A and B are shown apart, each in its own frame.
Chain A
């Protein structure tokens, strides 16, 4: 089983749509959770950390379900500039490394 699994997409949505991405992780000892975005041939950039209580940052909402080992990202009112690959990332307890999923590609069309 992959350490971090994501639906590769692509998700092709119109501007203004709401889109949700899901992610599962295999290591129950994982301690920290993030969503990064990556534009084509660029570096990963932190979108948001994911907290147990769920958290929101503008149009973006992240949820964590530790019991199900499941992380989600909701994007409301999609913009053209949201087109990118969204990376689910976990960090195991007592480890410095980030473990990346393969990413979910989002295409927002006019």
Chain B
């Protein structure tokens, strides 16, 4: 069964450093997403991406964040200058098309710890 993959599974970084989280969405999917989940809290939407551009972003997704699809398979989330409060699990998701009951499939996540 096709699945979303993410690398690395864990990332530890110093405050102020840049991190890039990588995702390989399901191959025939067209819509890509990033969510985050701070420990003990709910899953929160960050950004959606379609046709090589951001289609929607949340208030969390400020200028420190960017997304890119550098080739036909990878989808990346970059945090330019990490803060302590960026520590969270980051989930990538993808979906095939935006229908009435669209299903987003989630990757296993990258656990980011900012020290």
Binding site for B on A (CB under 8 A): 31-32, 34, 38, 41-46, 49, 51, 87, 91, 95-103
Question: Which of B14-22, B70-78, B94-102 interfaces with chain A?
Answer: B94-102
**8 closest Cβ pairs, A-B complex:** A96-B48, A97-B45, A43-B106, A100-B43, A102-B42, A49-B101, A100-B42, A32-B101
Residue from A44, A51, A91, A96 within 8 A of B43 (CB atoms): A44
0 or 1 for each of B34-60: is its CB under 8 Å from A? (1 = yes):
010000011111001010000110100
A45 touches B106 (CB 8 A): yes
Q: Is the CB of B103 within 8 A of A49?
A: yes
Which of B33, B98, B101, B107 is the one whose CB lies under 8 Å from A43?
B107
CB-defined contacts of B45 to chain A, threshold 8 Å: 97-99
**Are B55 and A96 in touch, CB under 8 angstroms?**
yes
**Number of B residues whose C-beta is below 8 Å from A?**
28
Interface residues in chain B, defined as those with a beta carbon under 8 Å from any beta carbon in chain A:
31, 33, 35, 41-45, 48, 50, 55-56, 58, 89, 91, 93, 98, 100-109, 111
A4 to chain B: closest residue by CB: B42
Name the one of B42, B91, B100, B108 contacting A103, with C-beta atoms under 8 angstroms. B42
A102 and B43 CA atoms in complex are apart in Å by: 8
Interface centre among A31, A41, A87, A96 (most CB of B within 10 A): A96
Residues of B within 8 A of A49 (CB): 101, 103
Most A-side CB within 10 Å, residue of B41, B43, B93: B43
The docked-state distance in angstroms from the alpha carbon of A87 to that of B101 is: 16
Q: Are B109 and A43 in contact (CB under 8 A)?
A: yes
Question: Besides the contacts A44-B43, A98-B43, A102-B41, what 10 more A-B pairs have beta carbons closer than 8 Å?
Answer: A41-B111, A43-B108, A49-B101, A87-B42, A95-B56, A96-B48, A98-B33, A98-B35, A100-B42, A101-B42
